[in-house]
Structure 1
Amino acid sequence: MRNIFAKAALGAAFFVMASTIGHAAEPVLISYEATPSAGYDLPKLKDAGYAERAAFAEQALTAIVPKIAAAVGVDASKLASEVTPGGYLLKTNASLQSEADIDDATADKFAAGLGYVFRQYSVLVSRLDDPSGKTGFVTVEFPKDKLDAALAQSFFEKAASVDKGLGGGYTAFGDEQIFLNVTDSDGKPYSGLDNAAFLAGLQKAADSFEPQKLKVADSGTAAARFVDNDWDKQPAGDGYIARLGGAGSDVVKALDAVEADYAKLIDEAAAKYGWK
């Protein structure tokens, strides 16, 4: 995920998460992508369709995510993860969501490991319905087993037609599509909407959406933070490395070995899908 704070000029960016995540004692959700945003020469990756990206994400989830978890001290058997649609600036891509019952420090370390190996600009760590949170969220519920990438994109476009501020981003988890009213460092929402207007706009979009009947299932405030590295300025991943014990640490050495496996997976996918 591209760091919306470092890349604010790209426009409003919203990240979303599952409504199964609740108060601070509840599991944390980590949101990220498996296809690299930096570090690999894949000029045609930008043209890859959802199916290709989702297939690659499934491979990465099976072959790479457990190794990253092990390297940072997270029990992979206790992770609940899935490949799910995620949207950014009116485009839907395959994303990964990993839910875990871990503390904040461990969650941040795991997120740093994911961002380091998968070469992401940022990874989102969050908990919904957190009374200490300041980021508004809205969960839109779809009929059971109906929500797929195409339907998620359709509602994404509908929401943006109600107010362009609702077109920043989303994620889907199970039968729900969730929007976060992410703020900048001054606490101002990128959407240009306060939380009440953000909710009202999504309620209007849900009420008028066709052909599926939708409802706003939940709303409130979330605690959300980004674990990030600006690969343009820190090509070695210094932002992540600092959270992983520093260059030369056992954790970073273990993750470098995992990245070698990831690079092989990238090479195979690039040859299969013509990403180079």
Structure 2
Amino acid sequence: MQFYLATSFIFPRPLRLRLLTLCLATTHLPLLGYILWGTATGRIAWAEFIILTLATMAGAAGALIGIGALLDPLHGQVNALNPVEQPERKRWAPTLREMSDISTRLFHRVRGPAATTREQIDALNIAANEDALTGIPNRRGFLAQLDALPLAGRKGCIAIIDLDHFTQVNEMLGHEEGDRVLVDFATRLSSQTRRVDIIARWAGQAFAIFYQDAIEEEASWSLARIAERMRREPVGTVNGQPITFSVGLCAWRGGPVMTAIGKADEALYRAKNSGRGQIQRAERPAVSLR
């Protein structure tokens, strides 16, 4: 556009004539240079001159055909933007406003699919990191959030929580009731933990919590408070008894996170084998929830 405006006093105003003139001038530069050199030195070889002339004409013809093919779609765009044409206007000479309108329309046509693609990518990322049933992060999302923490924030406690006797909920009350219990328990965890803590559905009826900047005693107190509320306001019952949970707890101080999770999982296994409904710390004595 800047070149178009800067050369408006040299070339014809219609765009087609301007491109034609520019094309002929540029494609004939080698031929003109050869003629000037041959005239100055007296070394014009007629065979080379004829070959160079034919090649120049062929190049100019190809350029003109290509320019015409490129201008035809733009001509159609302007006709679509300006359906009312004057009868005497047979050649197209776009104004600045017309060219701006064309650019705007082309930009929106490209931006639309690009925006849709970006939205689809974002949706896929959310689906890959979020549990579809409970709406909280899944295992992958939990690990991704831990990995995104700064080094100073990678200290606290990791708890692996498992609902007790959950198989009986599905077998006796049905899978719909089991799904409701999982959703309500996820809501309970979210409402009774801090905003800085990271909560996730780890697998099946298992959940994970990262208590950021918390020692084991603080995490144990928070989990005991949740257990007490579940006895008073149960998310569900099995055989007339409130559903309880068992916990494995391990401190994490920035080392390999899977090592800390493995220790928490071992502690959870001990809690299950010790009668359920309790917290087991990694390599620590049990703390009863009852």
Scaled by the length of structure 1, the TM-score of the pair is 0.31
Higher relative CO (Cα under 8 Å, sequence separation at least 6) belongs to: 1
Greater fraction of residues in helix: 2
Greater C-alpha radius of gyration: 2
